[in-house]
Structure 1
Amino acid sequence: MHRFRASHPIVCKRNATIARHTEHGEFWKALETFLAMPYESLQPDTATFLSLLKASASSVGHLQFFRLVHDHIIRLQFDGNGIVSNALVHAYAKSGSLDEAYKVFGSSKSRNELMWGAMMFAYFQHGHGTHVLDLFSSMLENGVCADKFIYVCVLKACNLTCALNWGFYVNSEIIKKGFELDVSVAYVLVDMYAKNQSLDEASKVFRDMPAHDVVSWGALIGGYSLHGKAAYVLELFQELQCEGVQPNNVILLFVLKACLDMKLLEQGMLLHEHLIKISSEGDIALGSALVGFYSNCGEIREARKVFDSLLRKDAVAWAAMIAGYAQARCDLSALHLFSRLQEEGLKPSDATFSSIMKVCGVVRNLEAGTLLHHQFVENALELNDVVVSALTDMYAKCGKLMEAQQVFQIICHQDIVSWGAMIARFVTQCENLCALDSFQKMQAEGIKPVKTTYLCAIKACSILGPLYLGNLIHAQVIESGLETDAVVGNALINLYSKLGSFNDARKVFDSLLERDSVSWNTIIAGYTSHGYDILALRFVEEMYLNGVKLTEVTHSNILKVCGNVGAVYQGMIIHDKMLRSGQFDAVATSALLSMYANCGCLKEAWKIFEESPEKNVVSWGAITAGYALHGDSSMAKHCFLLMERQGLCLTEAVFTSMLVAFVHAGMLEEGCRLFSSVVRNQSSFLNSVHYSCITDLFGRVGRLGDAELFLQSMPILPCTSSERSLLANCRTHGKVRIGMQRFKNHAQTELMVGCG
């Protein structure tokens, strides 16, 4: 290598000038001084290039200059100088040109531990942990001894790559060379083990450290926090305080998160008081974390106090407060706070936007949701998956499914998660046809359904039908290997039961490897709903033999069967089991009451009714219908009057059973009043069967003219049963003229229908 006289006074003077320009960031003046040196017959030395490369390293992005200096280094034969080459590696690395840095490194003939370390550090700085480990392996193969700096760099690379095996190796080498007592090395070891889930090893290294500073405490506590060990975080925090170490804000954040994870409101409030004492409450990160802590603990007022006290509010604080309001269903407060955020000219985060869209969907405020959507587009903000999902959900909840689909199409990466969420929304909104259509489109795009998607599709099909589509989905379930899954199997049983295909339901039931109570309840309920009560009872017997634990749903299903077939003895056995197990929820109690009422055991029914803590529309309807069916019209009237005073909203099933009972008892006044009430308030579920009941009720009490008038005024076409009921009542009461006229009308209607 060419040698220069670095002690030449004029060269030293020029080097000092270059260094002075470097210190002041005067990059081009330093360059001019360097380029003028040949004209003064001065040759640069090592110090000259070190000053230049230091200047260039501080000017990130000046690759052209680096290359120019590098060219002079080669021409003046300084490329063999290890110190200069090392500086050149640093310069290229800081500029982001790792390829050129590695080229200098690879061509150098004097690669010592400093240059190896420089190259490793360059890769680490740019997040290339794997390259660091590869270089370390090559360094060992070349017989170069690592220094403390290299070990620290490799340990940090282990964090990037989760290479715990390399971490163990470096730890053993550190012990051999006596570096384990170095606090900076031990800290990095603790951090490496903690972030790689080796918390026991992290704790061991920490305990062996000669002294614990706040940084090492932060590494250990942060590791336990990262892996959800909230209880250990709080224990370590107490130990830290006992050692007299003053925690920094990072540690306090970990502790606050632990209090939140464990829902320790009191401890969190104590920590808050500590923050006030040390004047750290105003710290942006801690203040935002406190807002989130109180919001998630349901303490909205405390959250708002902290939020209002913050001198500066970052996106996290706004998001936490708005999300807290949304979670607590303080919808107006959430909307008002979001308006404030906009008034202050702040850009809402994805989390904030998602929260406020959730509020708009919950309160069905389509106008506000649409306005926010337009603002988002006008401001050219990024519509990522989180935002699009929130928008889709808002439109779906507001009943605008077409808009929801349009927004959904914006998602760039429509994966199974986004498709599944969209299909689930359709099912939730009872838009089952749209759900099944999306299910087919998803598969047409080559995306295979998963378990949750199949469950949504099966639910939609069970409501809509037809059977062939259910068979098609079932075939896909079999192909995906999910047929034996208990949850999917139960959904398929429910699908086939609702569609009346009990052979298919039984096949699925028999194919399940594990049948839970839901499996049994579903198939029993299916048989019961279609009137196959005897088959349902057989399944109940099988359920007993298989030792399946009976649930409230099981009791309800069995009691319904017993009431339908008059099996009061079996019903009493279930009653006894309910008493022993204490399984008396509202549904099971109503089913028990209905069973006794249907079987004519009215004293037992009334006793259960009186003892029931919650008297709902089902129990009122059951006891009223029970008295009516079994001829006690006075008690039926009494119960009906009491029920009316309660102002309960009837269901279709309760209305039908009560109407049938009033017809059976000939309770015209009560039947008409009940029917009129439904016509006024809940006419949506009226059908021909209900109109037929009123026609029959008029006929039974001999008011055939009124029956005929009612039949003629029906808003829907009278069914055959209505006509036959009127004809039968005409014969019973000797009304030949009305009977002949209705017969002619009925015959003509059937003839016209037949010709059509």
Structure 2
Amino acid sequence: MTGAPITAEYAIALLKECRQSKNAERARFLHALVCQSNLECHGLVGNYLVCALADCGLLCEAQRTFKGLTCPGEHAWTSLISGCADFGDPINAWRLYRSMQDDPQTYPSKHTYLGILRAISRLVDPELCRKVHISLVLEGRECEQSLGNTLLDIYAKCGLLADACHVFETHPARDAVSFNSIIGAYAKCACYEDGFACVHRMQAENISPDDVTFIFALKLCSSVRSIRESQLLHADIVGRGLESKTFIGNALVDVYAKCGTHKEAHSLLFSLHTRDVVSWNALMSGYGENGCGEEVLSCLKEMEQDGILPDKTSVICGLKACGLVQKLGKGREIHLAIAKVGLDQELHVSNTLVVMYVKCGSLVDANKLVLSASKHDLVAWTVLIAGHIEKGMNIEALKCFEKMKQQGVSPDSNAYVFCLQACCDMKSVGQGQLVYLEIVKRGLNLNIFIGSALVHMYTKFGLLVDAHDVLQCLPIRNEVCWTALVSGYVEHGLCREALDCFKKMQAENISPVEFTYACILKACGILGSFEEGQYIHLDVVRKGFEVEAYVGNALVDMYVKVGHLYEAKSVFDKLPYLNVVAWTALISGYAEGELHEQVLDCFGQMQAKNINADAVILILCLKACGATISLERGREVHAEVRKSGLENDLFLANSLIDMYGKCGSPEEGQEVFNRMSVRDIVSWNALITAYGENHEGKMALQSFKRMQEQGFEPDIATFTCLLIACSHSSLIEDGQKCFELMVEKYGYEPIPQHYSTMVDLFARAGEVVKAWRFVEAMQSPPSKELLTALLTSCKNYGEGEVGERCFDLLVQLYPEDGAMGHHMY
């Protein structure tokens, strides 16, 4: 070929050959040759030249030539539109298409429409797609297979499921491409069941699936974690001999790993003819999503032994695994390796490194990484702030927030929510108000997430008016912000306000969530409002929340608090999973109602179901044993205390001493007391009472002496226990000394019970005159039981004068019992 002029026919032949080879240099040479031959404005040659230049990606030259044509043909228009679509100028492709529509001498062909649809696909513009779709419908070309499939594919990519389904259903000749597009559309819109239905429909219509079909179908299985569908597809793939294709094999590894069948995924990976980094990444991602961090790190090591270098995805999987299993050393090792090749500067990798260090508890490393990053990222800063809050380092979290702003990074709603949480945790009203002012300044106070966090913060501070005002100002309110306010009212004992708030929430057609119901049921319980609690119970049943543990427990507790134990037991029996919270609520109700046998029956059922009782339940059971004088059952509860490792719990130990005393075995109570690592005044009082109740007054007095020797100062309850012990054992002198000690040494003002006990002590011993002196010394009127008992002693011991006085006082204070007293006297 020389630079000599050529004929039009020869030029056209050369340009046709150039279009097929798509050689840009050859196209430039021919362009120069055509110009040299003065053929550029030749109708046919000019059109072919535009086509050749556009097909070879020389768009500027093609457009200049196109503008010089007096009558551009459909081929020139189409080639230029397609060239713009294929070589990165889809907007210009659309302009050309609109200009072509205005040209009365040319009509778009199928190839024109395919070209402009490719451009629209790159723009991902559904409105432009609809305009072309209308043109196709008007021209009756909608049903052409290639055009229909392209339309379907664009609608699917844009997530316009209804439009995609319309094109699919009106397509007269559906093929694998059509089905692939609609299956992909269903997957994109998370309509997984419809996606599977399409896969089965494809089989029913005898359309053979291709590689893309299997990839899409396996992605559906991965999304819904359907191992059964995965196995059916796997069998079909093997039957068609496609399992040797690496990308299909990788998809199979991915779905088995995501479905949690890790052994099969691992075996499948090693059965692949060719393993690549994608294969290993699929397996590691699956392990990671299922919380198997150690397995991810093992895979990373095996992959390197397999001679495959990790890519960005592999590194991210490895770092996430280090955070998951908190292997800081391994995380640092990976960090060092990727820093050598500069991969640590990639934004996603850098953020994952920060997350790894935070999860491994190394906030120092995370902080250094964020500050040294070449590009400061909001995600990394937010993770760092959240990490400090999780560790209880709220002041440091707020300092991070300030550093972030100093670095020029603007906080988003998540960052502000974390800051408000830090202020809330550190109970800093002032700091919270400063953050709030900043939020208002930035116009974010109407953001629903920030608004909910503000409501929560103000309720925690007890500023319920402010919380209510914030909520009322939100343009959109959801269940989160309403629940925060309801919870705040309940937490601060404003249960009637909580119920009003709950009603307003429902009036706005906002459905309460489980936690909302739990809070409002607690409010009903505190108020003792059975009717409102029942109404909410019906609502809970309608929503299907009754079997949710959190709500079910709250229902049991509410019915217990309003005194309806039958309803509480009815709800309790319907709970599918009985945890210790539910048992505590029911047992507390029985204990409150003094239904001690039911308390112990519940404890027996818990033991039969291997549910470990907590300290609260054990204390209630010990009280029930004491009330029913059930020593053997008390010993069983004691065994459970030891089994649970709670023997050093001070409250439990005190309850054990009390139980053994009431059950007539103060010696066992003494053994518990001796084993206690820590004792308080309640422990000593329980031991003194245990001996006193069992007529072992001397042992009670000895315990009191040891208590003083060990530096414990008696309280007024100690003297009550001592006086009762002396009374039960008829230790008159000791009782009198204890009374005098209480008043003279410790300065306690005697209470009516002290006087009653002393009267009883002297009366039993026949010291009626001394007993009467204590009656006269009482600051409050003696009970009729006390006077009646003293009157009986006067009769028995022949003390007529004291008896007269006692009778007169009885008639004066309790005239209705005077006749009975006279008869006795």
Aligned to 1:603: 667
Aligned to 1:612: 676
State the alpha-carbon separation in 1 of the partners of residues 174 and 406 from structure 2: 65
Write the deviation string for residues 131-160 of structure 1: whole angstroms up to 9, x where unpaired.
667757766x527685xxx89867755642
Q: CA deviation at 1:739?
A: 12
Aligned to 1:650: none
Letter in 1 for 2:154: A
Q: CA deviation at 1:316?
A: 1.3
Matches within 5 A, 1:245-644: 245-381=308-444, 383-477=446-540, 490-502=553-565, 505=568, 522-530=585-593, 532=594, 535-537=595-597, 540-541=600-601, 544=604, 547=608, 551-553=612-614, 554-564=617-627, 566-568=629-631, 570-575=633-638, 584=647, 586=649, 587-598=651-662, 601-615=665-679, 619=683, 622-623=686-687, 626=690, 631=697, 632-633=700-701, 635-636=703-704, 638-639=706-707, 642=710
Contact 2:114–2:150, Cα closer than 8 Å, also in 1: yes
Contact 1:663–1:696, Cα closer than 8 Å, also in 2: no
1:276 aligns to what SS in structure 2? helix
Contact 1:662–1:668, Cα closer than 8 Å, also in 2: no
Q: CA deviation at 1:71?
A: 1.4
The runs of 5 or more residues in structure 2 that have no matched partner are: 1-10, 16-33, 201-208, 215-236, 726-734, 762-769, 795-800, 815-825
State the alpha-carbon separation in 2 of the partners of residues 62 and 735 from structure 1: 120
- Cα 1:600–1:475, aligned 2, differ >3 Å: closer, same or farther? same
Contact 1:187–1:219, Cα closer than 8 Å, also in 2: no
Contact 1:392–1:407, Cα closer than 8 Å, also in 2: yes
Aligned to 2:158: 126
Write the deviation string for residues 622-643 of structure 1: whole angstroms up to 9, x where unpaired.
3465567764245336436757
Aligned to 1:753: none
Q: CA deviation at 1:704?
A: 12
Contact 2:41–2:69, Cα closer than 8 Å, also in 1: no
The runs of 5 or more residues in structure 1 that have no matched partner are: 647-654, 680-689, 712-717, 748-756
Q: CA deviation at 1:326?
A: 0.4
Letter in 1 for 2:703: M
Letter in 1 for 2:427: R
Q: So what's the TM-score if we normalise by structure 1?
A: 0.73
- Cα 1:641–1:360, aligned 2, differ >3 Å: closer, same or farther? farther
Q: CA deviation at 1:320?
A: 1.1
Contact 2:85–2:115, Cα closer than 8 Å, also in 1: no
Aligned with 1:87 (options 98, 115, 118)? 115
Write the deviation string for residues 410-455 of structure 1: whole angstroms up to 9, x where unpaired.
5555444543444334444544344333233333334454544333
State the alpha-carbon separation in 2 of the partners of residues 283 and 133 from structure 1: 40
Aligned to 2:819: none
Contact 1:323–1:355, Cα closer than 8 Å, also in 2: yes
- Cα 1:189–1:494, aligned 2, differ >3 Å: closer, same or farther? closer
Q: CA deviation at 1:256?
A: 1.8
State the alpha-carbon separation in 2 of the partners of residues 523 and 343 from structure 1: 55
Write the deviation string for residues 510-533 of structure 1: whole angstroms up to 9, x where unpaired.
777887776665444334334x2x
- Cα 1:640–1:98, aligned 2, differ >3 Å: closer, same or farther? farther
State the alpha-carbon separation in 1 of the partners of residues 684 and 599 from structure 2: 30
State the alpha-carbon separation in 1 of the partners of residues 597 and 260 from structure 2: 57
Contact 2:537–2:555, Cα closer than 8 Å, also in 1: yes
Aligned to 2:99: 69
Aligned to 2:132: 101
Letter in 2 for 1:170: D
Aligned to 1:685: none
- Cα 1:388–1:693, aligned 2, differ >3 Å: closer, same or farther? farther
Q: CA deviation at 1:324?
A: 0.8
- Cα 1:329–1:30, aligned 2, differ >3 Å: closer, same or farther? same
Contact 1:90–1:119, Cα closer than 8 Å, also in 2: no
Q: Percent identity?
A: 22
- Cα 1:585–1:388, aligned 2, differ >3 Å: closer, same or farther? farther
Contact 2:376–2:409, Cα closer than 8 Å, also in 1: no
Q: CA deviation at 1:599?
A: 5.0
Contact 1:18–1:30, Cα closer than 8 Å, also in 2: no
Q: CA deviation at 1:560?
A: 0.8
- Cα 1:497–1:85, aligned 2, differ >3 Å: closer, same or farther? closer
Contact 2:323–2:359, Cα closer than 8 Å, also in 1: yes
State the alpha-carbon separation in 1 of the partners of residues 702 and 145 from structure 2: 103
State the alpha-carbon separation in 1 of the partners of residues 142 and 560 from structure 2: 81
Contact 1:552–1:588, Cα closer than 8 Å, also in 2: no
State the alpha-carbon separation in 2 of the partners of residues 165 and 196 from structure 1: 21
- Cα 1:88–1:209, aligned 2, differ >3 Å: closer, same or farther? farther
Q: CA deviation at 1:588?
A: 3.7
Letter in 2 for 1:456: C
1:559 aligns to what SS in structure 2? helix
Aligned length: 701
Contact 2:121–2:154, Cα closer than 8 Å, also in 1: yes
Contact 1:692–1:722, Cα closer than 8 Å, also in 2: no
Letter in 2 for 1:70: M
1:281 aligns to what SS in structure 2? helix
State the alpha-carbon separation in 2 of the partners of residues 624 and 43 from structure 1: 113
State the alpha-carbon separation in 2 of the partners of residues 110 and 548 from structure 1: 67
Contact 2:77–2:100, Cα closer than 8 Å, also in 1: no
Letter in 2 for 1:495: M
Q: CA deviation at 1:341?
A: 1.6
- Cα 1:574–1:9, aligned 2, differ >3 Å: closer, same or farther? closer
Q: CA deviation at 1:490?
A: 5.0
Write the deviation string for residues 387-416 of structure 1: whole angstroms up to 9, x where unpaired.
222222221222212222333345555444
State the alpha-carbon separation in 2 of the partners of residues 273 and 447 from structure 1: 51
Q: CA deviation at 1:571?
A: 2.6
Letter in 2 for 1:87: G
Deviates more, 1:616-625 or 1:458-467: 616-625
Q: CA deviation at 1:37?
A: 4.0
Q: CA deviation at 1:244?
A: 1.8
Matches within 5 A, 1:701-712: none
State the alpha-carbon separation in 1 of the partners of residues 305 and 744 from structure 2: 77
State the alpha-carbon separation in 1 of the partners of residues 561 and 433 from structure 2: 38
State the alpha-carbon separation in 2 of the partners of residues 574 and 179 from structure 1: 65
Q: CA deviation at 1:217?
A: 4.5
Q: CA RMSD in A?
A: 5.5
- Cα 1:484–1:303, aligned 2, differ >3 Å: closer, same or farther? closer
- Cα 1:746–1:467, aligned 2, differ >3 Å: closer, same or farther? farther
Q: So what's the TM-score if we normalise by structure 2?
A: 0.68
Letter in 1 for 2:301: Q
2:455 aligns to what SS in structure 1? helix
Aligned to 1:170: 210
State the alpha-carbon separation in 1 of the partners of residues 387 and 53 from structure 2: 56
- Cα 1:707–1:598, aligned 2, differ >3 Å: closer, same or farther? same
State the alpha-carbon separation in 2 of the partners of residues 299 and 349 from structure 1: 25
Aligned to 1:78: 107
